[in-house]
Homo-oligomer: A and B are copies of this chain.
Amino acid sequence: MGERAHSGRRPGVSGTRAAIEAAARRQFAELGYDRTSLRQVAIEAGVDPGLVTHYYGAKPQLFRTVVELPFEPAAMAAAVVPGDRAEVGLRLARFVLGVLEDETGRRRVVGLVRAAASEPEAARIIRDLVTSQIIVPIAEQLDVPDPAYRAGLVMSQIVGLTMARYVVGIEPLASRPAAGVAADLAGTLQRYLAGDLGAG
């Protein structure tokens, strides 16, 4: 997106890259990692397939370039961290449900979960992204023992909610109002983030 300002007048390298990346984003999201090919991305972007390889190398690098978190980590931190420590789990649960109930947010989260589930290569890229952009920042804010492990437990519940409620659609979890689900997840996230683990 940042390149747009430079590509106003004529298509150049940045316009070509923007077209390739838009096509890649769409295909990764709609077809999944496996079924997306550099060749089809090039066709949709209207460029020679060799150019895609020239700019990005192979599929993992292209995926790494266009993969997007469903939210700004800074926005999450601002929504979750300030305030009463006893309600940090509830704030995080509401933030997560807010992202997942929004169509764009849900599509991005589901896209990441699907890619991570289907391809070890994509899983590694997503693991690095989630670790550096979500796990480490959360862990840094928590004045508790074992913060990265706690952040991993939090991610496990969020990923599992995405699968059960939005991908597989297990009832009645799938049709329960979001506010109720957030309230029911809050205790779990509270314990993982700030509570006593183990003998729980």
A29 within 8 A of B: no
- The 0/1 profile, CB within 8 Å of B marked 1, for residues 79-123 of chain A is 000000000010000000000000000000000011011100001
Question: Main SS of the interface on chain A?
Answer: helix
Nearest chain B residue, comparing its CB with the CB of A186 = B200
A170 within 8 A of B: yes
Q: Which residues of B contact A149 (CB under 8 A)?
A: 172-173, 176
A173:B187 contact, CB within 8 angstroms: no
Q: Which residues of A contact B (CB under 8 A)?
A: 32, 34-35, 89, 113-114, 116-118, 123, 126-127, 130-131, 135, 146, 148-149, 152-153, 155-161, 163-165, 167-174, 176, 180, 183-188, 190-192, 195, 197-200
